Structure 1
Amino acid sequence: MSLWWREWRASWRDTLILLREFRLPLFISVIAFGGGGLLYFALAQEAHAPIESVPEAIYIVLSQAFLQSAGEFPNQWYLQAFYFVMPLIGIGTLARGLTDFGVMLFNRRARGKEWEMAVASTFSQHVVLIGLGHLGFRVAQHLHSMHQDVVAIEMNPSETLVAEVRALNIPVIHDDGLRETTLLAAGVRQARAIMLCTQQDSLNLQMAVKARSLNPTIQVVLRIFDDDFAESLHKQFGFKAFSATGMAAPAFAAAAAGVDITYPLTIEGQPLSLARFNLVAHSALVGCTIAEIEERDDVSIVLLRHQGVPDLHPAHDRRLSAGDVIAVLGSPSRLNQMVAKNQ
């Protein structure tokens, strides 16, 4: 979805939210002016005043409310009363409400949380990222580099980090990620994956369970400091749990992008992961040879599955086709670059 179209949809939804917030003063205004117009018409007919229709009577009442001339001053006292009462009603019911509504409508970003929620409501098949600490911020950057749509949630955001994340066109909702309303506002039911990057294992697990209850098909990637606990969560719940010792932001981001990826292993001082890719029809990798990819992206392709037939030692001149599955060994950052090319 293009940025301008998302902004337009967010503006429309935010306008609907504003209208709901101001429904009481709007309702009172409709009753006051509509009802006042009907009453004025009825009284005018009784007094044989030259009022030909209800719309004309409503127009006169509206004109009176805003101190505008609406024809000759009537002779009947009960019609004259409208000329003095309606301005007070107009000022009382509309002035404050319209002023607040106009400020909020034309200065949406100053409303912070509500605007971010409106933008988040336009996302689908995106990644919900909870926790904008050091790890969460780097993960957001990597997801952005892979052209992944992201909605972030942070309870105690750093203004500097939030500003940098929003500069990537990532909405940041300032709220508690454990609250169901917050998860729904971030679009967890339409999301493809949720990433939990806070520093509390128990909090990450609680949010993972709640997200899965709201969206049973959502992919869960969470930060866990204990290796054994991380492995247990993966076996029991299917959560992709990364331990602190195996942590790398690029690997975390790749997992949320739907790539099967192993924990980074340090070999000769360099972290390496093994990832599996399903090549899509419009992938930039389609048509390239094994040798071209390995040389250009500094990775090693250790498996090629073509039409269901696996090849553990694919030839260097073998060209990739849409629908192929490849297993790639490389640094998490290099793998992230390949994910972006395969979008």
Structure 2
Amino acid sequence: MPLLLDDATDPRVLDPARISRARSLLVLSRDDSANLDIVMAAREANPGIRVVMRLYDDDFAATVSHTLRASYPHAATRSRSVSALAAPSFAAAMMGRHVLGVMPVERGVLLFTVVDVAGHPALEGFSIHEAFKQNEWRVLAVGSSGNSAAYRPESPSDTLGGLYLPRVTGFDWRPPHGRVLRAGDRVVLATTRRGLDILMTGVQPHRTPHFPPAGTEAGDREGRRT
């Protein structure tokens, strides 16, 4: 495979790289603005090219993704924020959680983590069906907390690229929904970032109460109570 070493932000460099015939483009430098420049130059030459770019700032990544999708609706665009992908795994590791992998889902991430059931108020004593929290976490597999090697993937890699969940040994990957989680269990969970925060701290994020608008019957009743 030919290798070109040059400034990819220069449209003239993309021509010998045959950008007009390319099906996909990965832009993975550490410079957000340079990555965006490369993608814009590539899209000018090939509007339908599929693009995956690396960006650091999560807000900037979201803005770029929305803008490019609007400008090129018939092309696939994915932007991934390094900080947004790394933060949940780093926080989980600091709290002693074992994170098997991280999967980007649109602007969010889905984490696969291992949790001991013992003493956990959201898990212990609940069936797998009852322990499910929509948009927060789901129990995927159940094993024994006494098996210290049970949750180690057979692959030496601990990233999603080396993770194939059914290869994680020592777990029942098809437990019945009525199976009650006990203190001696260890579970594999798929969680959102918000769900991981709750699992680590046990604290539900504060929600701002919703008051009906004044002038309505419900709002007037609420106003009299307050």
Name the TM-score, length of structure 2 as normaliser.
Answer: 0.38
- Structure with the bigger percentage of helix: 1
Name the TM-score, length of structure 1 as normaliser.
Answer: 0.26
Q: Between Structure 1 and Structure 2, whose CA radius of gyration is higher? A: 1
Q: Relative contact order (alpha carbons < 8 A, sep ≥ 6): 1 or 2 greater? A: 2
